[in-house]
Amino acid sequence: MDSNDLLNLLLVGVPALAILGGGAAVIQRRRSAGDRDRTDERPAGTGTGTSTLERPAAGAPTAEAPTAPAPEDAATAPALEVPAPTAGRLTRLRDRLARSGSPLGARMLQVLSRDHLTEDDWDELEETLLLADVGAGPSQELVESIRTQARVQGLKDPAQVRALLREQLLALVDPSLDRSLSTAPRTGEDGVTVPAVVLVVGVNGTGKTTTVGKLSRVLVADGRTVLLGAADTFRAAAADQLETWGSRVGVRTVRSDRDGADPASVAFEAVREGATEGVDVVLVDTAGRLQNKAGLMDELGKITRVITRTAPLSEVLLVLDATTGQNGMNQARVFAEVAGVTGIVLTKLDGTAKGGIVVAVQRELGVPVKLVGLGEGPDDLAPFDPEEFVDGILG
């Protein structure tokens, strides 16, 4: 290459290289800027390599990682309830009546504490008893008995008045009646032990099924093993309601898988399974329909016949609403005649004005009040105690 060619190369090539180099630098700067722009556009927490999630802004919703469902066998059954002891339950009724100032006791004491008792006063005393649903016959007996004692003893001292009234009311309630429940299993002549069978009857609306559930708690609290029979197959919710009550204290319910099933069949199956399992008591809830006496007799008669093929009836308990007073007595009389009632369960006895129904129902039906409902709580069913009841009325 001569000197002229070398000079041309220097004049043309060097500027070209400079231009090419500058262009490359510009391109590289643009690529870098583009990379930064794209990096800025990525969501927070993304990028190459291992990233850390940034803390979201205050108030921003956060996505929770899904948790695997727990296996079914990991679920624990709810703990069984422990019913309250039956001893002393009626004391709560006495306290409630005393705090409320029972109209029956307060009015009677008020009349008898007057200086001079006139015929109008004795009429007022009898009216007070009638309003408390004591009944006409027992009311007249009580007034006449107190009048006789007043002539003999005089009624000047308030303490004496109260003592006399307590004595007379207690005599009306009759503490001599056997109020125990027959709930012990029986052993027959063949040596086979069968459970005690308690048939519970009553008109719908009196709290019959609820009472059966509460009675199961009473028996469990007293150490008995229990099986329930849902023989009220005409009311759709009755079996479900009974099953719920029993499950709370570990008591099983025998029921039909269809509505309208034969009540006698359900009752028979309950008693049969109770005998097989060796339980102490089988409680059988029945339908409360009262269309006519003949129909009721047929239904309860059939239930009784099929039950007694396996075990005799130990108790037939009639559930009555204490607030219905004399209005419910006709229905109660029909059940007593048909079912061979051995005891009364009075619900809603915590209504203070109607305590006299205890006297009326015992006189009318000839059977004792054995249990009373004190309120809405699961353990508000108590064995009836005449002295506690009278003391509660008098305050």
* Nearest residue to 392 (alpha-carbon basis) of 356, 346, 347: 356
Annotated binding-site residue? 260: no
Which residues on adjacent β-strands are paired with residue 129? none
Is residue 138 within 8 Å of residue 359, measured between CB atoms? Answer: yes
**Residues belonging to the chain:** 395
Joined together, the tokens standing for residue 49 give 């390599």
Annotated binding-site residue? 336: no
Annotated binding-site residue? 327: no
Annotated binding-site residue? 302: no
Annotated binding-site residue? 202: yes
Annotated binding-site residue? 199: no
* Nearest residue to 355 (alpha-carbon basis) of 62, 101, 31: 101
Annotated binding-site residue? 308: no
Is residue 260 within 8 Å of residue 283, measured between CB atoms? Answer: no
Annotated binding-site residue? 207: yes
Which residues on adjacent β-strands are paired with residue 254? 229
Annotated binding-site residue? 154: no
Annotated binding-site residue? 203: yes
- Distance, CA of 246 to CA of 233 (rounded, Å): 17
Annotated binding-site residue? 287: yes
Name the binding residues: 202-209, 285-289, 347-350
Name the binding residues for GTP: 202-209, 285-289, 347-350
